Amino acid sequence: MEDYYTASLLKQVAARPYYVRDERQQQQQSRPRPRPNSSAASSSPFFLKTRPDAIAAMAHPQTQFTHTEFTGDSSSMLRRRRTTVGRATAKAQLQRMKDSGQYDAFRLEKKPVYDKTRWPCPPPVYWDSDVAKWIEGACYLLSEEYDAEIDAAVRELADMIRGAQRPDGYLNTWFTMEEPEGRWSNIRDKHELVNEAALAHSNYYKNNLLIEPLEKYVKLISTVIGPGPDQKHAYPGHPETELALLRLYTATGNEDAYKLAQYFVEERGNQTGQDGLPYYEWERLQRGESPYQRPDSYSMHESSWYNQAHAPILEQQTIEGHAVRAMYLLTGVADLLCLDELGVKPYAHKSEYFEALTRLWNNMVDKKMYLTGGIGSMWQWEGFGIDYFLPQSSDEGGCYNETCASIAVIMLAERLLHLDLNSKYADIMELCLYNAVMTGLSLEGTAFTYVNQLASSESDKSRREDWFDTSCCPPNVMRLFGCLGGYLWDYGGSGRDAYVNVHLYTSAKVTFQVEEQQIILEQKSNWPWEGNTLFELQAPASTGVTIRLRIPSWARGNFTDQLTPSHKAAQVEKGYLVLPSAYTSANRAFSIQIDGFKPRFISPHPYTNQNTLTLARGPLIYCVEDVDNAWEQDHFRNVGIKSDSEVTEKEEEIDQMGERYIALRSVGWIRKIDDRTESESGIEPGISLRQTVVAEEKELTFIPYYLRANRGGRGHMRVGLLRG
Amino acid sequence: MEDYYTASLLKQVAARPYYVRDERQQQQQSRPRPRPNSSAASSSPFFLKTRPDAIAAMAHPQTQFTHTEFTGDSSSMLRRRRTTVGRATAKAQLQRMKDSGQYDAFRLEKKPVYDKTRWPCPPPVYWDSDVAKWIEGACYLLSEEYDAEIDAAVRELADMIRGAQRPDGYLNTWFTMEEPEGRWSNIRDKHELVNEAALAHSNYYKNNLLIEPLEKYVKLISTVIGPGPDQKHAYPGHPETELALLRLYTATGNEDAYKLAQYFVEERGNQTGQDGLPYYEWERLQRGESPYQRPDSYSMHESSWYNQAHAPILEQQTIEGHAVRAMYLLTGVADLLCLDELGVKPYAHKSEYFEALTRLWNNMVDKKMYLTGGIGSMWQWEGFGIDYFLPQSSDEGGCYNETCASIAVIMLAERLLHLDLNSKYADIMELCLYNAVMTGLSLEGTAFTYVNQLASSESDKSRREDWFDTSCCPPNVMRLFGCLGGYLWDYGGSGRDAYVNVHLYTSAKVTFQVEEQQIILEQKSNWPWEGNTLFELQAPASTGVTIRLRIPSWARGNFTDQLTPSHKAAQVEKGYLVLPSAYTSANRAFSIQIDGFKPRFISPHPYTNQNTLTLARGPLIYCVEDVDNAWEQDHFRNVGIKSDSEVTEKEEEIDQMGERYIALRSVGWIRKIDDRTESESGIEPGISLRQTVVAEEKELTFIPYYLRANRGGRGHMRVGLLRG
């Protein structure tokens, strides 16, 4: 028998529930990790002592991730990917920021690369926020594994950012260099209000080098924008500021930041906010612009839905507009509610906003989300189409699915879990992570996709790029993986009661304290390939620990039977199997077996007019690529499958990368269309009943969607195949 | 047995091939028809003697229709509809033009109704052309049946138009009243160049009252626009001028008109036409407008494809942009080629332009046309989407199908038949006429649709309106029906050889002359209900007449067998059954039996992702309406049918109108979708394999699409039903 861990992806962890590979974990933990200033602070996410009460309350993944360590060997998917991001992605992106001029922009030296032709917002306007995402991601990754080059770059950037700030607190390199008189003149389109790198920086470096300019900038913004008669009644054209401000408040207690975030949320979409007009319209009149002069992303002259500004949030019935903006906005709203929920800061309108949040979430998930977790079918505004409009590709009418948008869905879902512990949010979080987001990063970690269609076409092949003019997606992936540990679970407690809610299964260990008592929960899993997860809990005998385990919606079977040791009284509450403290006291080690890793066919809602089948296995969505099916010449447009086809599994490895995965195989069929024009065939013009399903069978090989575009090939790929 | 003609729509005309209902025809022919000036001129479409050679050459339906008389009794569909248009539609529209201010605009009196808020083109800018269409239609209809009120209105309008012309020849009421300094400043968006009413007027009134100002205006335009260094290198933002100019040339020999039309066609889309820029871009710079300031119909800032100006016509590979403009433009191009084809005016680039015409036609018919003959899936630009993007309704992502667009397809198809006698063009002409166009007019003739979707939805019910702000469609229908006789056939000859190519079957009679010899061909048919058509030919023995009969693409069987008397040697050439003069000499009366009137299911191309079935019978496309299927509450969104379902026919009558038709009945099924959200059902978010086809059967009653929205109801309608 070959070595158990290397010969097969199917490890059946729970078959040996008490097996612990101590020596490898020791190796991993002993990797040197230089930490700046105080290494003792590593288990506490907050060094700024202003708000210790907020630690448990605002359990942001971006701060709590340091409590979690990915364990398992190199075949553990999340650990492996996070390592790649830390080692390869961060450096490759640093180089590209330097090549593109983004890095040096903070020196306030104009470069010829400053292309100003794109109106109203040339790409350099976004640069500050792209770089900020990289800084944020770098700080997260440094805390896992030190790298001198990355460290030096972050320090230099921090110095440059401080130097780029104007004496009054203003901080935006593009406006400062190109249009100093134009500040605050186009809040709708120009990104003056996006930045959340400082928090990550302060957490890692234990200093105020970025917090200080940020607070100075917040002070300035609070002067310019607000409800006062001489203030602008504005809100960000590109939301994200809201959540950054609330993180700042959580970390430092900065009341200006809280008030500003609350104002942004509540003022947004006010149709009479400034001199009886919607703010963006008032602002446009100040600029003397025609209402018909509009960015390319505004399809019609009244398209304030693009920025989610068509109505107050409480009145919005459907999720609309630019997908990334919508998700960041709702994440900010959720943060406001979390601060109340967790007792940090009461919020009077919590229940109405929660209702709006769930209404918009449900509209998105039920009617506007692809089965990969991608959102945004419309290229023009990189956002939502009408209900059920979910074509697979640009040659079918759309499919955008920006990587950033699904990252933001993950952020929002995590917040919603604090407000309403329901596996439906965690299911979507996992769906996005393993499919719509992971597909955005190459295996080497150095090439990216911005758009993640479900099918390629001649004009949009399944290909990766090194970098983009507007390069939010690459550093956003880096940022997400940097703090990924924070998304696995949430936990806390008081007195002698502690809890851990487990959202994602992998191999990882979390260490936290409740009333000075240290609790450690470790999970070992071969997820997403297998459904067994082994847990080991360490806690003082005096502390009762309730553990809740997510049962994915696609899981099958009776879950209480699949717990080892069994616990007949265990209940599933809103999708979480609840293990009471009596059980966890009696069973420090236990395992759960989630069934659902047999390949299955799924299908979009019938109203999408997508009469297709897609293979899924566990949380993974599969696709076909020409690399495995070299006979294909037309992007699998005429390839079908039947839901009763037999599907077999095969373990495969991508040689160069050592990446291992389970491929699926089945037999498909080829659609032959009598495609002659009416003049050739005598059939009715544009009309045919001659769609013939020919018995030509083809062996089909499927790979996980996240692995697409990693092995060369001609860029032909498809997720949904014709339903036979 | 009840009376043969009134008891049944299914008359089987050819079962009695020699039956002629003389007395009824006499009644019809004896209806008094006052004609102005010279009643003797009625058989000649041109009174201006400048170009007698053009008579046969440019057989425009708009002039030749006077050769054709609709016969048959009141149940003959085209005759009946034309009568309604002549009696009810013309008067109702006249009243609405008066109510709206359109009529009085020609007095150059500003009215408060002049809404200038819509940029760049408030509706009154279109008014001249809307009224001109009405004048044109009225002149056609007057020649069929005199009406004093209509006659007086046309005369008054002619006077007003003459009075509205500026001394230099300029003629546009909106610019003259509202923006006299703005003439020619925005040829892209503002309709200064549309008018073809004058020709119809001159044909009917036998005077130059409108030709004169038109020629004066053409002279002015030829000064302003042209290839000269001081001229504008422009072309109409809304094509239609090209075909009007060529009609003017054909009628009068006005060389300026020909040259201008040719220039418009050849200059269009020149990317370096004016100072090295595309004309519309140059013009925009002159106006000092940002490229991002654009009408709502321009989705992005570079959308010159909207006006078919993105490339020279010869280089355009696919049909793009506003559907009506595209069709008028290509009709103008076809006219240019027809003038060469028929020996009137040689054109050096005929073959290249013919190649472009057929390329664009084929792209449209094969990939961008609905099975009703509707074109334009995109609401925003009232035009073409990408290949195969043909959703049925706005809640599926689009479906515009403007009535005018399909009228213009008919115009283009008729021209193409002169260039290439191929039934594929006549098939589309008929498809559009009986479906996409006739559905735009109510049975009373007084209510209209502008948009003709294939399925209703809550936001876009199947409803009619009295009038529109931009009201091109209602008078366009009037114009088409006014000269409909001209579309039935074309004919001509020289020496002792004459020919008639029969495109459309109905009951009608054409009278024309070849070398002073009179030829009369009469057809009697119960089309579109039955496939029998009886022909009777009158011609001097010395003249051989070749007759070609269109065989529709949907017809089945061996057509030479279905000719009575038979003629085994008859050949079908490009979809026309050719009856040589030997046959027609020997058989002055003969009949053709077209099989294909058994109800059949048709389906859009599979690439449309429309997995639907539609019932058709002969040239008619059927739909379901809630009037007949009162149980339906959701626009038939979940109603299906199977292609092997039995379909029965039933003759029906709409009581108030006496309109009779054949309804179809079949058994359908209801799709039940497990539509619970994931939180309710535990199914995967946004994903379902639970689309269940429940055995709940429903009786379905279908009516012809052209009859929809005539009998009240709740506005629920659908053409394509789910394929079971």
Q: What is the pLDDT of residues A35-92, one digit of tens each?
A: 444 333 333 333 333 333 434 445 688 888 999 999 988 779 999 999 999 999 999 9
B391 touching chain A per CB within 8 A: yes
Per residue in A406-445, pLDDT (tens digit) is: 999 999 999 999 999 999 999 999 999 999 999 999 999 9
Residue B29 pLDDT class (50, 70, 90 cuts): very low
Q: A86 CB contacts (<8 Å, ≥6 apart)? A: A141, A144, A145, A147, A481, A482
Instruction: Using pLDDT thresholds of 50, 70 and 90, give the confidence band for residue A467.
Output: confident
C-alpha A93: how far from chain center = 18
Q: If you average pLDDT over residues A558-568, what whole number do you get? A: 83
Interatomic CA distance for residues A121 and A129, integer angstroms: 14
Q: Residue B607: what pLDDT?
A: 92
Which class for B88: exposed (0-12), middle (13-18), buried (19 or more C-beta within 10 A)?
middle
Residue A377's φ and ψ, nearest 5 degrees, are -90, -15
Q: What is the Cα–Cα distance from A602 to B265, expressed in whole angstroms? A: 52
Q: Does B366 contact A at CB distance below 8 Å?
A: yes
Select the residue of A293, A431, A554 nearest B292 (Cβ to Cβ).
A293
Say whether A677 and B554 touch across the interface (CB within 8 A).
no
Do the Cβ atoms of A119 and B292 come within 8 Å? yes
Q: Match 């079977």 to its residue by tokens.
A: A557
Give which of B118, B292, B424, B718 to mutate to test A binding, by max A Cβ within 10 Å: B292
H or E, element range at A612: strand A612-617
Question: Which residues from chain B sit within 8 angstroms of residue A718, using beta carbons?
Answer: none
CATH match for A488-597 among 1.20.58.220, 3.40.50.460, 2.60.420.10, 1.10.8.80? 2.60.420.10
CB B409, CB B375: distance < 8 Å: yes
Nearest to A683 among B301, B386, B553 (CB): B553
| A686 has a pLDDT exceeding 60 | no
CB atoms within 10 A of CB A148: 8
pLDDT at B112: 64
Each residue of A149-170: b (16+ CB within 10 Å) or e? ebbebbeebbebbeebbeeebb
Share of chain A above pLDDT 90, in %: 71
B452-471: average pLDDT? 93
| Mean pLDDT score, A385-413 | 97
Using the CB atoms, write b or e for A533-547: b if 16+ within 10 Å: bbbbbebeeebbbbb
Fold of the B77-484 domain:
Glycosyltransferase (1.50.10)
Reply yes or no on whether the pLDDT at B521 is more than 90. yes
pLDDT tens figures, B304-362 = 999 999 999 999 999 999 999 999 999 999 999 999 998 899 999 999 999 999 999 99
User: Do B290 and A362 lie within an 8 Å CB cutoff?
Assistant: no
In total, the C-beta contacts within 8 angstroms joining chain A to chain B are 172
Q: How many CB atoms lie within 10 A of CB B266?
A: 18
Does pLDDT of B190 surpass 90? no
In angstroms and rounded to an integer, the radius of gyration of the C-alpha atoms of chain B is: 26
Decide whether B77-484 matches B491-597 in CATH topology. Answer: no
Antiparallel, parallel or unpaired: β A620-625 and A517-525: unpaired
Quick one: fold of B491-597?
Answer: Maltose phosphorylase, domain 3 (2.60.420)
Could you tell me whether strands B517-525 and B508-514 are parallel, antiparallel, or unpaired per DSSP bridges?
antiparallel
CA neighbor of B477 nearest in space, from B443, B501, B525, B502:
B443
* Chain A interface includes B682 (CB < 8 A): yes
- Which residue did the predictor score with more confidence, A127 or A361? A361
Is residue A21 helix, strand or coil? coil
Distance CA B575, CA B426 (A): 9
Confidence check: pLDDT of B5 > 60:
no
The band of B600, judged by pLDDT with boundaries at 50, 70 and 90, is very high
pLDDT > 90? residue A401: yes
pLDDT of B199: 81
Give yes or no for residue B505 having a pLDDT over 90. yes
**The pLDDT of residue A275 is above 80:** yes
Range B494-515 average pLDDT: 96
Q: What percent of chain B has pLDDT over 90?
A: 70
Which chain B residue is nearest to residue A554, measuring alpha carbons?
A: B684
Neighbours of B233 (CB within 10 A): 21
Would you call A394 helix, strand, or coil by DSSP?
A: helix
Pick the range with the lowest mean pLDDT from A5-14, A496-505, B294-303, B529-538.
A5-14
Angle between helices A241-252 and A323-341 (to 10 degrees): 30
Measured in angstroms, the CA of B310 and the nearest CA of chain A are apart by: 17
Which token pair is B489?
A: 């056939």
Question: How do the domains of chain A map onto residue ranges?
Answer: 77-290+305-484, 488-597, 600-723
CB atoms A428 and B397 under 8 Å: no
How many Å apart are CA B538 and CA B288, to the nearest integer? 66
Task: Kindly indicate the confidence band of residue A175, based on its pLDDT and cuts at 50, 70 and 90.
Answer: confident
Q: Which residue of B has its CA nearest to A295?
A: B292
Scanning B13-89, the segments in alpha helix (DSSP H) are 22-29, 54-57, 61-64, 77-84
Look over chain A and give the mean of its residue pLDDT values, rounded to a whole number. Answer: 87
DSSP reduced 3-state for B294: coil
Q: Worst-scoring range by mean pLDDT, A334-343, A420-429, B47-56, B524-533?
A: B47-56
Task: Give the model's confidence band at A301: pLDDT under 50 very low, under 70 low, under 90 confident, else very high.
Answer: very high
Tell me what the mean pLDDT of segment A687-694 comes to: 55
CB contacts of B118 in chain A (<8 Å) are: none
Q: Does the structure show a pLDDT above 50 at A190?
A: yes
Amino acid identity for residue A504 in this structure: L
pLDDT confidence tier of residue B175, bands split at 50, 70 and 90: confident
Mean pLDDT of B462-482: 91
| Residue A257 Cα, gap to closest chain B Cα (Å) | 35
Q: Which residue has the higher pLDDT, A83 or A682?
A: A83
The tens digit of pLDDT for each residue in B672-701 reads: 886 554 444 444 544 445 555 566 889 999
Min Cα distance B496 → chain A (Å) is 32
- Under an 8 A CB cutoff, do A553 and B682 touch? yes
CA distance A90 to chain B (A): 33
d(CA A502, CA A547): 7
Mean pLDDT throughout B410-421?
97
Q: Which of A200-209, A239-248, A507-516, B82-91 has the lowest mean pLDDT?
A: A200-209
Q: Does A628 touch chain B (CB under 8 A)?
A: no
Whether A656 has its CB under 8 Å from any CB of chain B: the answer is: no
CB atoms within 10 A of CB B302: 14
Q: Could you report the per-residue pLDDT of A114-172, keeping only the tens digit for each?
A: 666 778 888 788 788 889 999 999 999 999 899 999 999 999 999 999 999 999 999 88
What pLDDT does residue A11 have?
57
Is residue A151 within 8 A of residue A158, CB to CB? The reply is no
Indicate the residue of A119, A380, A389 with minimum beta-carbon distance to B397. A389
Domain A77-290+305-484: assigned CATH number: 1.50.10.10
Distances in Å between the Cα of B217 and the Cα atoms of B50, B200, B222 are 20, 17, 9
Chain B residues 338-357 with CB within 8 Å of chain A:
none
Measured between CB atoms, does A380 come within 8 Å of chain B?
yes
Contact B291 A386 (CB under 8 A): no
- Preceding omega of B580 cis (within 30 degrees of 0): no
